[in-house]
Amino acid sequence: MFQGKNVLVTGSSRNTGWGIAKVFGDYGATVFVHGRSLAQVEEAAARLGRQAGSRGGRYVPVAADVACEEDVRRALALIEARAGGLDVLVNNACHLGLGHGFLDMPIAFFDEVLAVNLRGYALCAQRAARQMIARGGGAIVNIGSNTADRVIPNRAAYIASKGGVESLTRAIAVELAQHGIRVNCVIPGYIRTERWDDLSEEDKQRRWKNIPLGKESTAGDIGEAAAFLASSKAGNITGSSLLVSGGIDIQLVPPDCSV
């Protein structure tokens, strides 16, 4: 599905981004595996390549701080020099924004979270879009969060940033449509990551009750959604958001709660 295509997945050295990168690689893409640490992304790309064997695409490491304009410029220039430019960008790099309630949150922390989760998305999308125009079009997929609409405590900066991601998606979808670039958003709910594995069994059971389908999403689930939106199968879809949450967003309260 993505043979001959160049794909950058930001924040793909581990967890959800790693799973997204694997999906695109399994579909034959050349995937640029990204993180802030070159050593970390080199290890991640090598591990992805070993798992793929002869079946999948290629994995190429690239390091950058997505909040830094010069870093993004340098990383995208490297991709253009090595591969001729991008066909697909998946904006996934994320600052989780943990550790502060709103009243005690330093505004510098708020700025730090938005610098990664919103400014970083805009910087990468802008640079990637310029390359896509030269290649005749492409696709951008932003990874949002259902907390943008269904908030949780003590994550104000993160939630604000993810609300911004959805608005940014719609805004640039309109502007880039004339260039044959589609821009969409995947909206996850719970995702199984390393943080999930640290939960107690009681907490896991409580979360599962909150999901009508009874299971959290995997990184592969998010990757498949991103791949669909980036593919020709979604060729007339832009400015849209695709929920991948097991049904959390359609349920008012879990079954064990009375209303």
Residues designated as active site: 158
**Closest by alpha carbon to 17, among 93, 120, 76?**
93
Q: 3-class SS at 99?
A: coil
Q: What 8-state DSSP symbol labels residue 177?
A: G
Sheet of 6-9, strand order = 58-63, 30-35, 6-9, 88-91, 138-143, 181-188, 241-244
In single-letter form, the type of residue at position 175 comes to E
In single-letter form, the type of residue at position 7 comes to V
Distance CA 132, CA 135 (A): 5
Distance CA 168, CA 220 (A): 25
Which residue carries 């993160």 as its tokens?
158
